[in-house]
């Protein structure tokens, strides 16, 4: 059996290097900048007020309270610029350009109106108070966003502010997901003898989307080698998939159409990983019509095994392709305490048991295994929010320290009690 880390290293070494693409800034959410973004203009582009209030000459307020004459009013977006003379003030709204001659803004809360054209200044201000200077956020020529930055909501706002209408990013891969088998049903019809409901493809499409990639539903492919080969060719050709994910048919000794076809059309490696569940796994590359290498992840067919191998191998690989991670780190991995004893037999494997993780009163993360740990028991796994690592050996006592990989499914871990 091959250690999990060795399999992940094998995958990492064979992932293709995608070329950056240019996309509209408002389509870049979740992607990673492939190039620096420089400012072509100052932000803000002009001196403006940071508060609602009155634009004044600061020296007119030194003897506050002080009555001033209001000579004008300016709102955000105003194209005219009033002038502030000694003894006078201009009513001004947040974001409006500064009137000529003023050097401070008094907040409206520190004023009182005295008739239609007067204001009483209740607090003195200093030059610069209440003012946002041109370029105080970003100056033309600055590089506020560097390559490697993940485009979140705030970064998108900065891109809009900089008028960066298109940006260079690492692309979001299109990931084709298919299921194979004459026994699979997904149309809601009554089950005939020997049939089962399709679940892996449904689950994997969602996991691909959660990882930030673009899922492509390749449907259910019947047990016919020529049909599967045509489906794979269409996926990497007409549909333009950058990655393929299959489930089932990767066990030692299986003669399954997935294994037969992939062995013929792709450069595949077949593994028995030293872990449970998800021991069988395959990885390789298939040539697309453009000649580019398309990674192929052959996941085991049992639903829980398929989920675990995706989380521990395929998801980290997608993150590397998108540059959201530079390593095969994957989901967050933390230290925790197990709240009950675990008995197991040495078998040369690390067991990744499904568990519920939560904060304890002691400020540490505590985990308890879900009751059903079979590789086909997906319903119990759906209630878990983490995988707890049980090292090879006789098991663990209650209260033992463990490492936990947090999942997106199930209840949120929350905050310490």
What tens digit of pLDDT does each residue of 16-72 get?
999 999 999 999 999 999 999 999 999 999 999 999 999 999 999 999 999 999 999
Where do we find the tokens 């209630």? 383
| Mean confidence (pLDDT) of the chain | 92
Residues 295 and 393 both lie in one domain? no
Better pLDDT: 77 or 376 = 77
| Per-residue pLDDT tens over the stretch 364-388 | 999 998 876 655 666 667 778 999 9
| Per-residue pLDDT tens over the stretch 199-217 | 899 999 999 999 999 999 9
| Per-residue pLDDT tens over the stretch 295-343 | 999 999 889 999 999 999 999 999 999 999 888 888 889 999 999 999 9
Q: Is residue 152 part of a domain?
A: yes
| Rg, the chain, Cα only | 31
Q: Are 96 and 50 in contact (CB under 8 A)?
A: no
Torsion angle (degrees, nearest 10) of CA 409, 26, 161, 74: -100
Residues 8 and 73 both lie in one domain? no
> In angstroms, rounded to a whole number, what is the distance separating the alpha carbons of residues 58 and 157?
34
| Average pLDDT of the residues in 382-407 | 93
Residue 165 has pLDDT above 90, yes or no: yes
Residues 104 and 179 both lie in one domain? no
* Tokens encoding 288: 């697309």
- Beta-bridge partner residues of 33: 169
Residues 361 and 402 both lie in one domain? yes
Residue 298 belongs to what domain range? 4-19+172-322
Residues 176 and 156 both lie in one domain? no
Sequence-ordered list of residues with C-beta below 8 angstroms from that of 232, at least 6 positions apart, any chain: 244, 261, 265, 286
Q: What angle do CA 153, 156, 161 make, to 5 degrees?
A: 130
Return the pLDDT at 103.
Answer: 97
CATH number, domain at 184? 3.40.980.10
Reference 295, options 277, 321, 319; nearest CA is 321
Reference 300, options 180, 175, 403, 207; nearest CA is 180
Q: Is residue 228 part of a domain?
A: yes
Burial 339-374 (b: 16+ CB within 10 A, else e): beebebeeeebbbbbbbbbbeeeeeebbbebbeebe
| Per-residue pLDDT tens over the stretch 113-157 | 999 999 999 999 999 999 999 999 999 999 999 999 999 999 999
Where do we find the tokens 């320290």? 401
């Amino acid at each position: 059996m091959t250690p999990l880390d060795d399999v992940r290293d094998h995958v990492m070494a064979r992932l293709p290097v995608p070329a950056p693409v240019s996309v509209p800034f408002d389509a870049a959410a979740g992607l990673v900048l492939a190039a620096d973004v420089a400012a072509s203009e100052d932000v803000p582009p002009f001196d403006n007020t940071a508060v609602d209030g009155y634009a004044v000459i600061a020296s007119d307020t030194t003897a506050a309270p002080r009555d001033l004459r209001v000579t004008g009013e300016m709102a955000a977006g105003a194209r005219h610029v009033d002038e502030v003379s000694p003894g006078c003030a201009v009513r001004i709204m947040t974001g409006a350009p500064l009137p000529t001659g003023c050097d401070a803004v008094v907040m409206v809360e520190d004023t009182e109106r005295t008739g239609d054209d007067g204001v009483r200044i209740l607090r003195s201000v200093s030059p610069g108070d209440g003012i946002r200077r041109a370029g105080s956020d970003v100056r033309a020529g600055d590089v506020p966003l560097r390559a490697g930055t993940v485009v979140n909501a705030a970064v998108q706002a900065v891109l809009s502010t900089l008028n960066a209408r298109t940006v260079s990013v690492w692309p979001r891969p299109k990931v084709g997901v298919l299921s194979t088998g004459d026994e699979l049903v997904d149309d809601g019809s009554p089950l005939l003898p020997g049939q089962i409901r399709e679940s892996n493809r449904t689950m994997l499409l969602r996991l691909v989307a959660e990882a930030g990639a673009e899922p492509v539903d390749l449907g259910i492919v019947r047990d016919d080698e020529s049909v599967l080969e045509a489906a794979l060719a269409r996926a990497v050709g007409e549909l333009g998939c950058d990655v393929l994910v299959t489930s089932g048919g990767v066990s030692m000794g299986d003669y399954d159409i997935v294994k037969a076809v992939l062995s013929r059309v792709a450069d595949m490696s077949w593994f028995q990983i030293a872990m449970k569940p998800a021991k069988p796994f395959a990885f390789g590359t298939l040539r697309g019509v453009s000649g580019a290498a398309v990674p192929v992840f052959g996941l085991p067919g049992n639903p829980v095994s398929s989920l675990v191998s995706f989380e521990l191998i395929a998801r980290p690989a997608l993150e590397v392709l998108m540059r959201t991670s530079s390593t095969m780190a994957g989901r967050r991995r933390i230290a925790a305490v197990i709240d009950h004893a675990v008995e197991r037999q040495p078998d040369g494997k690390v067991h990744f048991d499904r568990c519920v993780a939560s904060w304890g009163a002691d400020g540490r993360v505590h985990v308890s295994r879900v009751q059903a740990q079979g590789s086909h028991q997906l319903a119990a796994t759906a209630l878990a929010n983490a995988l707890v690592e049980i090292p090879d050996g006789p098991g663990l006592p209650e209260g033992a320290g463990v490492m936990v990989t947090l999942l997106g499914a199930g209840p949120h871990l929350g905050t310490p009690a």
